[in-house]
């Protein structure tokens, strides 16, 4: 049953990534073309985004769904190479721990920049 829920979540996060990433790419591209703050990856544009709570929310949401989808996908691929039961447990726990650590580490940045 657990595998069923993980798979359903993979579908849901896939759909969410398509939407959120589309928004992210569109916003970055519009920044480049309409050029409100200059080049989208320039320092001034990044400062502007860092102060905006909506951007922080977008980034954290995209981070969560993207990390889940990617790490669960990689875990699925690795588990299909016939590991032993002990190796399977190690892979599962490593995926979970890696996901939590990377999420915590990467979500810290927009939050810290927002409150500073």
Partner 1 sequence: MKQIQPRQNYLGASGWVWAGKFKIERYLYTLHRITGLGLLLFVIIHLVMTTVFRIQGQDVWESIMVLLHNPWFKVGEYLVVVAFSYHALNGLRLMLQELGFIMGKPTPPIYPWKDALRKKRPVIVVMLVVIAILCALFLVDFFIGGW
Partner 2 sequence: MTEESRKQVTFKVQRYDPEKDIKPYFQEFKVPSSRGTTILDGLLHIKETTDSSLTFRASCRMAICGSCGMLINDYPHLACHSQIEEFKTDTITLKPMPNLPIIKDLVCDMTPFFAKHRTVKPYIIRSDAEEMANPSTTYAQKPAELSDYLQFTYCIKCGICVSSCPTSASDSHFLGPQAMAQCYRYCADSRDDGQEERLPTVSGDHGAWNCHLAGACSEACPKGLDPALAIQLLKRRLTARALGIGREQEPSSLAPPPTGIKDKVPFPEFTVKG
Select the binding partner of residue 79 from partner 2, partner 1, none (C-beta < 5 to 8 A, by kind). partner 2
Task: Check residue 43 for interaction with partner 1 (CB under 8 A).
Answer: yes
Q: Is residue 57 near partner 1 by the rule CB under 8 A? A: no
Q: Does 91 bind partner 2 (CB under 8 A)?
A: no
Long-range interactions of 63-68: CB distance < 8 A, separation 24+: 63/103, 63/106, 63/107, 64/103, 64/107, 65/13, 65/16, 65/17, 65/20, 66/13, 66/17, 66/21, 67/99, 67/102, 67/103, 68/9, 68/10, 68/13, 68/99
Binding mask 60-79 toward partner 2 (x if CB under 8 A, else -) reads: ----------------x--x
* Binding of residue 84 to partner 1 (CB under 8 A): no
Q: Which does 5 bind (CB under 5 to 8 A by kind): partner 2, partner 1, none?
A: partner 2
Backbone angles phi, psi at 42, to 5 degrees: -75, 165
Task: Check if the beta carbon of residue 95 is closer than 8 Å to that of residue 71.
Answer: yes
* Touching partner 2, residues 8-37 (CB under 8 A): 8
Binding interface with partner 1 (CB under 8 A) = 11, 14-15, 17-18, 21, 25, 29, 32-33, 41-43, 46, 63, 66-67, 70, 73-74, 77, 81, 102, 105-106, 108-109, 112-113
């Amino acid at each position: 049953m657990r595998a069923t829920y993980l798979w359903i979540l993979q579908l849901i996060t896939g759909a969410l990534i398509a939407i959120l990433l589309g928004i992210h790419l569109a916003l970055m591209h519009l920044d480049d073309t309409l050029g409100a703050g200059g080049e989208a990856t320039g320092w001034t544009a990044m400062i502007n985004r860092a102060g905006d709570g909506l951007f922080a929310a977008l980034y954290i949401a995209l981070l969560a769904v993207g990390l889940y989808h990617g790490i669960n996908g990689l875990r699925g691929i690795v588990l299909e190479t016939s590991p032993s039961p002990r190796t399977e447990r190690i892979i599962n726990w490593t995926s979970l721990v890696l996901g939590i650590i990377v999420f915590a580490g990467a979500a810290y940045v927009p939050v810290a920049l927002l409150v500073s």
